[in-house]
Amino acid sequence: MIYPIVAYGDPVLKKKASPIDKDFEGLSQLIEDMYETMENAHGVGLAAPQIGKAIRIFIVDASPFAEEGEPDYEVLKDFKKTFINAQIIEEVGEPWAFNEGCLSIPEIREDVFRKPKVTIRYFDENFNEFNETFEGLPARIIQHEYDHIEGILFTDRLSTLRKRLLKGKLSNISKGKIVADYRMRFPLK
Ligand code: NI
């Protein structure tokens, strides 16, 4: 099932999401639906709050970034993972800029600074626990999605000036005055 994606301005995107337990009802179906929803929208990541659920699940898929012949091709093409109850342990290195976008904020892309290396503890879809370190684009996608389960959007990380310049566009998104090639749910429409 493809869920509509919740647009900027919906309170669920500002909420800190809650952990779930192993017996969470319908978990495997929900994860399957999240992959279907992400793929339908051509996203590289999707967090449960973006389908209206304030729980600590997000999925990532870096394969759209994988370009044959590039040195990180192998890493990116297979980087598809489910993160449940994730906790970032540490982020290290000199912050670097990457032009980020978000399925909940269509038509806006901005440079966001984040540290290049992230260590994260999480459970996979079978509730196996992992403690892993990621770098580069995989780290970047994880940090963006992790922010979602903490109630943070990439626009929250922009300068006051950038935020002010984007205000009108963001309010149009909340009102549904945009065109997205996937189904969305708008808080002010
Ligand atoms: Ni996002």
Residue 182 CA to ligand 1 center (angstroms) comes to 15
Spatial CB neighbours of 21, under 8 Å, sequence gap ≥ 6: none
* Residues, beta carbon < 5 Å, ion ligand 1: 102
Instruction: Determine the distance separating the centroid of ligand 1 and the alpha carbon of 111, expressed in angstroms.
Output: 14
Q: How far is the CA of 22 from the centre of ligand 1 (A)?
A: 25
**CATH architecture designation of domain 5-183:** Alpha-Beta Complex (3.90)
84 pLDDT exceeds 90?
Answer: yes
Whose structure tokens read 């669920």? 12
pLDDT in tens, 2-18: 999 999 999 999 999 99
Residue 139: phi and psi, rounded to 5, are -60, -45
Q: Is residue 145 flagged as an active site residue?
A: yes
Q: What is the pLDDT of residue 66?
A: 86
Other C-beta atoms lying within 10 Å of the C-beta of residue 128? 9
Among 41-45, 65-69, 114-118, 135-139, which is the least confidently predicted range? 65-69
Domain boundaries, the chain: 5-183
> How high does pLDDT run on average in the chain?
96
pLDDT tens figures, 89-99: 999 999 999 99
Instruction: Provide the pLDDT for residue 70.
Output: 85
For residue 124, pLDDT over 90 is answered with: yes
- What's the pLDDT score for residue 69? 85
**How far apart are the C-alpha atoms of 170 and 185, rounded to whole Å?**
14
Q: What pLDDT does 75 receive?
A: 86
What integer pLDDT is reported at residue 65 of this predicted model? 86
- Per-residue pLDDT at 145: 98
Residue 142's nearest CA partner among 82, 52, 64 is 82
